[in-house]
Amino acid sequence: MAVMTQTASPDPVQPASGGDRIARFFREYYIYFVLVAVVVLLSVANLDKFDLFERGNFLNQNNIINILRVSAPLLTLAGAFTLLMVSGYIDLSVGSAMSLSAVIYALLAINGVPFLPAFALTVVAGAGLGAINGFLVVRLRITPVIATLITLSLYKGLALLLVQDGVSAIKSGGGLKMPSWFNTYGRVGTFLELPAAFWVAVIVTVILIVAQNRTLLGKYAAATGGNPTAAKLSGINTGAIVFLLYVIVGMTAALAGIARSSFMSLGDPLSGDGMELTAILVVLLGGTAFSGGEGRVIKSFIGALIIMALTVGMLTLVPAYFQTLVLGAALLAAAASNHLVSRKESRS
């Protein structure tokens, strides 16, 4: 993936013209404008009374808390997924990994494992799932799309197998009972009335922003995606970088699975279905190049907020069965605009 050929652009550095500077400013900050636009749009469209923050309106406190609460899984995933795509790789198995983690976490909890060990074990399991992806891609050199399609199927199968036949998810029943603490993590408000799962997403994102800007991992990920041969010749172990990124993505997928499973109070083997598409959508929306090298963790985080605001906000405007259509259209639009922008840049 990401076969880079050096484009021989004969024109040397030119001082930026005024229009050029505006264009670059827009490229840099457009995502924030989109977020504001979406929020304004949904607020106006849903205006019940002429008071923005009242119950029933989009900007109502409870509504915002609710949106941020259900956003936790996606927000957790977006950053790591961005770094992986910056390095020129992709993981289509995140949805399945998330489902499998949700099932594992619920199974541990329902069998009496306390919160912290269950949490830790699930994250370790997620790291293992990521490591399998890394192994297939880095050691066996299977194309990332295919390798992670294989594990998409594998993890999904395992998640389904872990749930008994005839039952749709891990939940109380048959002599076993979900512990009472189970949904605290994803649902019960802590600081600012937001649940721990949301704050974990924020912490993970902050860590990844620091990692991208201040550590070898971030720089080497950009180098690996931008020019893999150059990275290798500089003595960078690109294989190790990619492997590590897959493991990190696996861990965040596990955190996302825990958040989702806690929020829904059950271990649903299909809970992560389609998450890979949402993740790609969010990352592309944030301006990450599909060919690697380019992309910021923070922008994907904003992209995730936009998508969640849209999906939740939309429910008040149109029936739920419009969701697939809107997300699909958004994916196409994000991919197209992203490509047009990056093509223009490489030409200038």
**Residues within the interface to other proteins (CB under 8 A):** 5-6, 8-13, 136, 140, 142-143, 145-146, 149-154, 156-158, 160-161, 165, 214-217, 219, 222-223, 225-227, 229-236, 277, 280, 284, 290, 293-294, 319-329, 331-332, 335-336, 339-340, 343, 345-346
Please list, in sequence order, all residues whose beta carbon lies within 8 angstroms of the beta carbon of residue 206, skipping any fewer than 6 positions away. none
Taking the least distance from each CB to other proteins, the nearer of 190 and 324 is 324
Taking the least distance from each CB to other proteins, the nearer of 44 and 216 is 216
Cβ 292 to other proteins, closest distance in Å?
A: 8
Q: Give the separation between CA 135 and CA 244, rounded to whole angstroms.
A: 10
C-alpha gyration radius of the chain: 21
- The distance from CA 179 to its chain's CA centroid, rounded to whole angstroms, is 28
Tokens representing residue 216 in the block: 């070898």
Taking the least distance from each CB to other proteins, the nearer of 192 and 320 is 320
Please list, in sequence order, all residues whose beta carbon lies within 8 angstroms of the beta carbon of residue 36, skipping any fewer than 6 positions away. none
Cβ 261 to other proteins, closest distance in Å?
A: 18
Taking the least distance from each CB to other proteins, the nearer of 265 and 323 is 323
Cβ 243 to other proteins, closest distance in Å?
A: 15
Cβ 46 to other proteins, closest distance in Å?
A: 21
In one letter, which amino acid is 65? I
Cβ 32 to other proteins, closest distance in Å?
A: 22
For residues 250 and 267, the answer to whether their CB atoms sit within 8 Å is no
Taking the least distance from each CB to other proteins, the nearer of 114 and 157 is 157
The Cβ of residue 248 has, within 10 Å, a number of other Cβ atoms equal to: 24
Q: Give the separation between CA 203 and CA 191, rounded to whole angstroms.
A: 13
Taking the least distance from each CB to other proteins, the nearer of 187 and 219 is 219
For residues 302 and 32, the answer to whether their CB atoms sit within 8 Å is yes
Cβ 165 to other proteins, closest distance in Å?
A: 6
Q: Which of 110, 101, 84 is nearest to 259 (CA)?
A: 101
